[in-house]
Structure 1
Amino acid sequence: MAGDDVTVSNGATDASGIERDRRLILDARAKGPLATLGAYTRLSGPGWLQGAITLGGASLAGSLYLGVLGGFSLLWLQPLAMIMGIIMLSAIGYVTLSTKERPFQAINNHVNPVLGWGWLIATLMANLVWSLPTIGLATAAVRQNLLPGVVGADALPDNLGKSIACVSITLICVTVVWFYDTGRKGVKIFETILKLMVGVIVVCFFGVVVKMSLAEGGLDWKRIFGGLVPDLKLLFSPANTFAPYIAEVDARFQDFWRNHIVSQQRDVMVTAAAAAVGINMTVLLPYSMRKRGWDKNFRGLAIFDLSTGLFIPYILTTGCVVIAAATQFHTQPARGFLGERDQAGVVIQPAKNLMGPYGEVAGARILYEVGDKAFAGMTEEEKSRQIESLMENLPSADKRMAAMLVKRDAFNLAQSLTPLTGSIIAHYIFGIGVVGMAMSSAIILMLINGFVVCEMLGIPSRGWPYRIGCLMPCVGALGPFVWTGGKAQFWLMIPTSMFAMVVLPIAYFTFYLLMNQRSLLGENMPRGGRRVLWNALMAVAAGLAAFGSIWSLWSKMRWVGIGGITTFVALALVVHFVRSGKPSPVAAEKR
């Protein structure tokens, strides 16, 4: 059995520090709300770690494409997803702080080992999948926004520039993670660094929106606040703002554009929801609390910590990105694809990174016109001639739609903001925000992986096994070299986040069941109206997560995906019935 994860110093448990924190909270409560608020502010930490990982590349990508596709009409989605996530994280925190059992052991002993192992394995997989685009995003931001003259494409050969930026970023992340394994003081340094990074991220993106609101024309705040009202029709139809442009398209091809927009909208909505609270955050919270030595006296602090360190920074940052993207890109064709000219009469050239994505969208429209069966029957030469001919003669209305829906990224957004905010804010402040999001997320992915590996091995999360586990997400350093070419690499956050949504219900339903285990919680189990409220809120959150998971599986894998989740559930049920006839490990120990 793994040992306790309470922070260690010089090989001994720092019990005096934990008792000092507990006494600080109890004394503050006796003095009143203001004193309690001050104590909570001083002791906060794990909630800010949650903020550091959720404000990562996936949240940035989700926010960007929500703005591109939905304009202001999808501003409601991320706050709703975060509220559902905080409900589950609060339940996880309650269970963790109410019992001395480690979460993995508690799940295996009191619920089902299939769910326990599924929870850890899914988290490990999600970490490794997410690490690839995350470090790649930070590398791209350094090369394109912050240091283009040092490691950019024009300064160094492509692979050399990538290598220098990527290795430097990875080493910085590893160094910061190392602090977490150097005792109580190291944990404090680590959490302070992450708090500062989250603060910088919020200030950068908030500053961009403030500057936009002060520019000529400003922002339409009435429409912005209107976008906070949920609109579920967007799961099945494009945003209303696309209607006049679709109406200009030949009637034969209007359904193609509607279906194309809705398909992307759904993927982005799932991504934004998955990035708000991912399955790896359900591991980070309980084990970071245990690392701090928190118990039931710290429950109020845990809720305060999640509110200030997670909810507020997330809502401010993602909301600002959606607003900026909606203002600059929604129903706005990417420049250079419609024969536009600048003030000197020179034809504007499209951004290089958008050429490939534009060809994909326009090519899909052409394939729709030709038909899959007819296209498959052509020779390669005939296909090439047909595509070239149709591409040249593509109606202007279709070209406009393709240019609107081309997959842009954060760097295109920074470029578009230059006339409004100036080059310093658009490139450097925005770039610092992007790098901060990617690096803070990469750091926490490493931290979580260390927890997961040690828990799988049944050992305390410290020492070299923990550090080796932390190093596994460094595989993300391969991201900039694996995903190359004309692809919109920023879009790669979308499919990786959809995978995370598929596995999220494992954690949600597992802790829903754990919250109702009297054998675990004993006298700490909620009763009466509180229990009804907890269960109702958790049921809504878990139900929405299950809906997103099944939707993602069906849209991408059809019956294969449904078969996979059915097999997992069936295995859990078989193990449950096999164990039901035997005494539980807890009961056996009591004997």
Structure 2
Amino acid sequence: MNANIDNVDTQNTSNDAENDTLAVDEQRLLTAKQTGLFATLKTYLSMSGPGWLQSGITLGGGSLASALFLGVVGGTHFLWVQIVAMLMGVVMLSAIAYVTLSSGQSPYKLIRDQINPVLAWGWLFASLLANLIWVMPQYALSYSAITENIGLGFENELLNKIVISLLIFAFCTAVVMTYGQGGKGQRLFDFLIKAIVSAIVITFMAVSIKIVFVDKSISLGEIFAGYVPNINHFSEPVGALGEQIQHIPDAVKAYWHAQVIDIQQTVLIAAAAFAVGVNMTFMMPYSIIARGWNKNFRGLAVFDLATGMLIPFVLATSCVVIAAAATFHGNPQNALIENEGIYEVNPNASKKVQTELTKIIDKRVAELNEPLDNEEMLMAAYLIKRDTGSFTKALEGVVGPTLANWIFGLGILAMGISTITMLMLISGFCVCEFFGFPHGGKQHKMGTLLGATGLLWFVVWTGGSAPYLAAITGTIGFIFLPTAYISFCLLFNSKRAMGDNRVKGKKRVIWNVLMIGSTVLISAAAFGPYGAWNKSMGGLPIGQYFVIGFVVAALLGQLYMIKKRSKD
């Protein structure tokens, strides 16, 4: 009995301490705003947190995979894709933060009870499903960094995968368990995530600085030109691949044009998907709820997204695209050798490169039933899916091959670990919201262990390069993102849900233009001809079935809400 009383007293003391800290933070904000802009920005920087957690999710294996293949396929032409997608994401996440901080309520419950229960359930289960799936390629990528870049492991491959995967899971679990342990635990968790994200950015910036200012293999003009959006990239080959197609015989030109466009569309959509995933929209509101933030923290939330998520993301992904473009775009590397004037697969190339190149060649021969000429062999080499171990060449000239592997490997490992940690944390939030458990407690911690599905990566993910598998996963996950965007557009404008906190006047018009624009673009990409609509499996148009089925379910949910409101 005394032990129970002691536990209650300890918990009350902890809660009182957290409330005191929150009150102090709120007063700091109010004082800073009265002092001026510089004081406000300085205070914002010292109190940032949720935006960095978003970076911990988005700067993972999916972002790396997408950025690598954007550079391989499009050179610097595709630099605009991830940034445009991220800007739309910042708009939506800022709106989500506004709704959450203004209402002080769970957005899942608001959408379920006030907007449409199907949208709420779709948002929650899509977020959880994305976590359980996307965590697998993060393990694959981390394993690749440890064994190929850093060079650690045993001789037995299966033993390697089991031991390394368990160590990664144990480390990420230890980090996640610091979450929700009062003020000190939260500060430790935030510090670890910020440190990991900073390491990622610094690593890839070092690569790009070497490429642009030492090697001068890519100019600043090419980089700036790559940030200009171009919708034609979805239908026309670009850069070296577009030029190479012109050298291919007319009889087979259509085949290679279709192959390049298919790869470009997959990579472009995957890049947009991994900029802001549906699970990130679930992370944002509950990370600020856990801090106890209120209306006075709305400016901090937007600032935090810009500095903690947008800037690190733009820097890191742009640097990876630049590195990939300089290393591989329009460059067969060592994939081919010339034998009496004829290109052949290089037997001295890595096993992965030989396997990927052979697959591309065999597919082309099977479809057209004739051998490839030299120009086609070059094109096939340009389309090889590259793994992370190949990109250290961008640093070797500065620090040597050993240190280059360590630097690049640690950056990639940091990406994988940060994302695994965040996906586990979001899984806990999903469990708490669905069952009504308090956040940060025992049930939340048990829910985070759903992320253990990642330990199955070497059973589920077989063959091909780990980054490309992550990109394919991102394309599938992109289907679910409009669910969250549509839900929050409706919630943002709902008088019933927001009451007096609903934005009014010109601000509401501006917010709606930005939100609706982002929602339309994301929905068109996700459900359109390049997204879910044309996805099939074994000849079955599962994408069309899903889109139609979900729309019908959402309409039924709306009819239910209309009937419920009429009764109320």
Instruction: Please classify the TM superposition score into its range, dividing by the shorter chain length.
Output: over 0.9
Match of residue 140 from structure 1: 144
In structure 1, the residue corresponding to 2:129 is in which secondary structure? helix
Cα offset for 1:118? 0.8
Work out whether residues 175 and 421 of structure 2, in 8 Å CA contact, stay in contact via their aligned partners in 1.
Answer: yes
533, 537, 554: which one pairs with 1:554? 533
Q: 1:259-279, CA deviations, whole angstroms, 9 ceiling, x for partnerless residues? A: 101101101111110111110
Cα offset for 1:463? 2.5
Match of residue 270 from structure 2: 271
Work out whether residues 52 and 444 of structure 1, in 8 Å CA contact, stay in contact via their aligned partners in 2.
Answer: yes
CA distance in 1, matches of 2:488, 2:95: 7
In structure 2, the residue corresponding to 1:526 is in which secondary structure? coil
In structure 1, the residue corresponding to 2:386 is in which secondary structure? coil
Match of residue 255 from structure 1: 254
Work out whether residues 454 and 466 of structure 1, in 8 Å CA contact, stay in contact via their aligned partners in 2.
Answer: yes
CA distance in 1, matches of 2:365, 2:61: 32
User: Could you tell me the percent identity over the aligned residues?
Assistant: 37
Work out whether residues 123 and 280 of structure 1, in 8 Å CA contact, stay in contact via their aligned partners in 2.
Answer: yes
Counterpart residue identity of residue 511, structure 1? F
The reply on whether 1:398 has 2:366 as its aligned counterpart is: no
Q: 1:534-580, CA deviations, whole angstroms, 9 ceiling, x for partnerless residues? A: 11111111111111211321232274322222222212212222331
Cα offset for 1:424? 4.4
Range moving further from structure 2, 395-404 or 279-288: 395-404
495, 499, 519: which one pairs with 2:496? 519
Q: How does 1:443-462 map to 2 (within 5 A)?
A: 443-462=421-440
26, 29, 33: which one pairs with 1:29? 33
The reply on whether 1:529 has 2:528 as its aligned counterpart is: no
The reply on whether 1:576 has 2:558 as its aligned counterpart is: yes
Cα RMSD, aligned residues only:
1.9
Match of residue 337 from structure 2: 338
Match of residue 281 from structure 2: 282
Counterpart residue identity of residue 477, structure 2? A
Cα offset for 1:416? 5.7
Cα offset for 1:421? 5.3
Counterpart residue identity of residue 315, structure 1? V
Distance change in 2, residues 1:462/1:359 (3 Å): same
Match of residue 8 from structure 2: none
Q: 1:298-320, CA deviations, whole angstroms, 9 ceiling, x for partnerless residues? A: 01100110011000000000000
Q: How does 1:109-258 map to 2 (within 5 A)?
A: 109-146=113-150, 148=151, 150-151=152-153, 155-258=154-257
What is the number of residues matched between the two proteins? 547
Match of residue 3 from structure 1: none
Match of residue 387 from structure 1: none
The reply on whether 1:476 has 2:481 as its aligned counterpart is: no
Counterpart residue identity of residue 555, structure 1? N
In structure 2, the residue corresponding to 1:179 is in which secondary structure? coil
CA distance in 2, matches of 1:162, 1:475: 14
In structure 2, the residue corresponding to 1:20 is in which secondary structure? helix
Distance change in 2, residues 1:480/1:32 (3 Å): same
CA distance in 1, matches of 2:217, 2:252: 36
Q: 1:112-164, CA deviations, whole angstroms, 9 ceiling, x for partnerless residues? A: 11111110000000001101111111111011112x2x40xxx4211112222
TM-score, structure 2 length as denominator?
0.93
387, 405, 408: which one pairs with 1:430? 408
Match of residue 12 from structure 1: 15
Cα offset for 1:429? 1.0
Match of residue 78 from structure 2: 74
Cα offset for 1:419? 4.1
The reply on whether 1:51 has 2:59 as its aligned counterpart is: no
Counterpart residue identity of residue 449, structure 1? S
Match of residue 292 from structure 1: 291
Counterpart residue identity of residue 511, structure 2? W
Q: 1:485-524, CA deviations, whole angstroms, 9 ceiling, x for partnerless residues? A: 4x22221011110111100000000000000011121222
Match of residue 488 from structure 1: 465
CA distance in 2, matches of 1:428, 1:340: 36
Match of residue 548 from structure 2: 566
Q: 1:280-328, CA deviations, whole angstroms, 9 ceiling, x for partnerless residues? A: 0101000000000001100110011001100000000000000010011
In structure 1, the residue corresponding to 2:565 is in which secondary structure? coil
Cα offset for 1:417? 4.5
402, 405, 411: which one pairs with 2:389? 411
CA distance in 2, matches of 1:576, 1:244: 51
Match of residue 375 from structure 1: none
In structure 2, the residue corresponding to 1:338 is in which secondary structure? strand
CA distance in 1, matches of 2:175, 2:57: 14
TM-score, structure 1 length as denominator?
0.89
Work out whether residues 414 and 426 of structure 1, in 8 Å CA contact, stay in contact via their aligned partners in 2.
Answer: yes
Work out whether residues 75 and 239 of structure 2, in 8 Å CA contact, stay in contact via their aligned partners in 1.
Answer: no
Cα offset for 1:33? 1.2
Work out whether residues 176 and 190 of structure 1, in 8 Å CA contact, stay in contact via their aligned partners in 2.
Answer: yes
In structure 2, the residue corresponding to 1:134 is in which secondary structure? helix
CA distance in 2, matches of 1:204, 1:394: 40
Distance change in 2, residues 1:108/1:484 (3 Å): closer
Work out whether residues 534 and 543 of structure 2, in 8 Å CA contact, stay in contact via their aligned partners in 1.
Answer: no
Distance change in 2, residues 1:437/1:288 (3 Å): same
Counterpart residue identity of residue 64, structure 1? L
In structure 1, the residue corresponding to 2:507 is in which secondary structure? helix
The reply on whether 1:90 has 2:72 as its aligned counterpart is: no
Q: 1:195-234, CA deviations, whole angstroms, 9 ceiling, x for partnerless residues? A: 0111111001001111223434453111111111111111
Distance change in 2, residues 1:245/1:208 (3 Å): same
Match of residue 386 from structure 1: none
Cα offset for 1:465? 1.5
Distance change in 2, residues 1:358/1:109 (3 Å): same
Distance change in 2, residues 1:10/1:357 (3 Å): farther
In structure 2, the residue corresponding to 1:339 is in which secondary structure? strand
Counterpart residue identity of residue 436, structure 1? A
CA distance in 2, matches of 1:145, 1:564: 40
Cα offset for 1:360? 1.5
CA distance in 2, matches of 1:484, 1:565: 28
Work out whether residues 208 and 425 of structure 1, in 8 Å CA contact, stay in contact via their aligned partners in 2.
Answer: no
Distance change in 2, residues 1:207/1:425 (3 Å): farther
CA distance in 2, matches of 1:278, 1:38: 30
Gapped runs of 5+ residues in structure 1?
1-7, 342-346, 371-389
CA distance in 1, matches of 2:104, 2:41: 26
Cα offset for 1:243? 3.3
